[in-house]
Amino acid sequence: MTSVSLTRRNVAGQRALILMLHGGQEISREPVEHSSGPWRRSLVMQHAITRRAHAAGVGTWLLRYRERGWNDDAAPSPVPDARWALDQVRRELGEVPVVLVGHSMGARTSVHVADDPLVQGVVALAPWLPPEDPVTPLIGKSLAAAHGSTDQITSAKATARFVERARAHGASAEFHDMGPVGHYMLRRVRAWNEFAISRSLALLPR
């Protein structure tokens, strides 16, 4: 059985952390292997943004969940894994500010754990944000969401509505239209990477 793990890219004098959460499936109890496409896509992004993060004194960590799926709205599989990762941040780095960067299911997971005191905000990439999900974990925090208009897996319109709902409940929230691109961030790669790193650094205290 694959266990939860972290790919850490720390830097000397680290003042903050970007914690990345990858995508998954609605239902799957299969383990997240090293060959997992969603995890590997986030790993590629981690490599792309780490140099700029390190130049700002910010580390990057990438979480790998135990299971591929969300599985149960009452007890989502990746949420305990994300909370475990935040506990590891405390144990290893102390009370450093954290921005969560999540793709698809990772964005949904990020919102659910945004109530952790370490979390400054969420950068959501092609997020899966159902209308029934709460926005309360984002109260007093920030949400920056980017979505392509031709995404056939998750809904850009649902993301825009979620952003408006978060804003109405006291979050600082923005929606960025990535144009006619799909879900997997395979087109306009540099633009996705730029959104991820620029918004992450902007949400962290200087």
Tell me what pLDDT residue 206 has: 85
Tell me what pLDDT residue 141 has: 98
On the question of pLDDT at 1 being above 80, the answer is no
Query: DSSP letters along 165-182, please?
Result: HHHHTT-EEEEEE--S--
The domain spans of the chain are 5-203
Q: What whole-number distance in Å separates Cα of residue 58 and Cα of residue 12? A: 9
Tell me what pLDDT residue 131 has: 96
Q: Which of 97, 99, 63 is nearest to 79 (CA)?
A: 63
The residue assigned the tokens 């959460």 is: 21
Q: Which of 108, 101, 40 is nearest to 69 (CA)?
A: 108
pLDDT digits (tens, 9 = 90+) for 97-141: 999 999 999 999 999 999 999 999 999 999 999 999 999 999 999
Tell me what pLDDT residue 203 has: 98
On the question of pLDDT at 91 being above 70, the answer is yes
Q: Any idea what DSSP says for residue 4?
A: P
Q: What whole-number distance in Å separates Cα of residue 40 and Cα of residue 68? A: 13
What is the CATH topology of the domain spanning 5-203? Rossmann fold (3.40.50)
Contact predicate 185/195, CB 8 Å: no
β-strand pairing of 98-103 with 172-177: unpaired
On the question of pLDDT at 12 being above 60, the answer is yes
Q: What whole-number distance in Å separates Cα of residue 17 and Cα of residue 100? A: 9
Percent of the chain residues topping a pLDDT of 90: 98
pLDDT digits (tens, 9 = 90+) for 151-205: 999 999 999 999 999 999 999 999 999 999 999 999 999 999 999 999 999 999 9
Amino acid at 184: Y
